[in-house]
C-alpha cells in the first residue's frame, strides 16, 4: 500500500504542470487572435500605412445628388414623323467640389447632353439596353466637361428620373 500514496503524489505533481500548459495555450491563442484582428484592421484601413486610396475615401462620403433642371426636351427626326424626347436627369457624386463644379458648368453640361439626346433615334431608345447606353454616354459627357473644369471626372453616376418619347 505504500505505492498508492506515491502514485497519488505523482498524480498531484503531474496535474499542476497541465494547468500551466493550459494557461500558456490560452494566452498564446489570445495573442494570436489579437494579432490577427489587428492585422485585419490594418488591411481594412488601406494597408500598412493606414491610408485608403483617394477613390475609396471619396466613396466613403455620402452621395450628393444634383438635379439638372429643367428636364431636357429635344426633337429628333424619325422616318415617319417628328419625334420628341423628354428626359429628367440627376447626377450623383461623393465629391462636393464636383457637384459645385457641375452647377457652375451647367450651360456646358446642358449643351453636351442636348446634342447627345437629339442625335438619338426612336428604335435605339425603345429597349432598356438603348436607354442604358444613352445613360452611359450621358455620364461620359458630364465627366468630360468636369474633367476640363476640375481635372477629374467627379461624377459617379447619371440617373434618368423621367423618360418620355412621343
pLDDT attached to residue 45: 56
Residue 139 pLDDT > 90: yes
Please indicate, yes or no, whether residues 137 and 112 belong to a single structural domain of this protein.
yes
Domain extent for 26: 3-51
Please indicate, yes or no, whether residues 31 and 82 belong to a single structural domain of this protein.
no
Give the pTM: 0.64
Which stretches of 45-157 are DSSP H helices? 54-60, 96-104, 106-118, 122-125, 128-150
CA gap 27, 39 in Å, rounded: 18
Please indicate, yes or no, whether residues 62 and 47 belong to a single structural domain of this protein.
no
Residue 93 pLDDT > 50: yes
Summarised one tens digit per residue, pLDDT across range 41-64 is 445 555 444 444 555 555 578 999
pLDDT attached to residue 96: 96
Please indicate, yes or no, whether residues 75 and 135 belong to a single structural domain of this protein.
yes
Structural domain count, the chain: 2
Cβ 149 vs Cβ 131: under 8 Å: no
Amino acid at each position: 500500500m505504500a505505492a498508492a500514496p506515491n502514485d497519488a503524489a505523482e498524480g498531484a505533481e503531474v496535474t499542476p504542470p497541465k494547468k500551466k500548459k493550459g494557461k500558456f495555450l490560452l494566452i498564446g491563442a489570445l495573442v494570436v487572435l489579437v494579432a490577427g484582428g489587428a492585422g485585419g484592421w490594418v488591411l481594412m484601413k488601406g494597408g500598412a500605412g493606414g491610408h485608403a486610396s483617394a477613390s475609396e475615401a471619396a466613396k466613403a462620403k455620402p452621395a450628393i445628388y444634383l438635379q439638372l433642371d429643367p428636364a431636357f426636351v429635344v426633337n429628333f427626326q424619325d422616318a415617319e414623323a417628328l419625334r420628341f424626347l423628354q428626359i429628367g436627369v440627376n447626377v450623383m457624386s461623393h465629391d462636393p467640389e464636383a457637384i459645385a463644379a457641375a452647377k457652375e458648368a451647367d450651360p456646358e453640361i446642358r449643351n453636351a447632353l442636348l446634342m447627345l439626346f437629339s442625335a438619338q433615334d426612336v428604335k435605339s431608345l425603345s429597349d432598356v439596353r438603348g436607354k442604358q447606353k444613352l445613360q452611359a454616354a450621358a455620364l461620359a459627357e458630364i465627366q468630360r466637361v468636369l474633367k476640363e473644369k476640375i481635372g477629374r471626372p467627379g461624377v459617379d453616376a447619371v440617373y434618368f428620373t423621367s423618360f418620355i418619347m412621343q
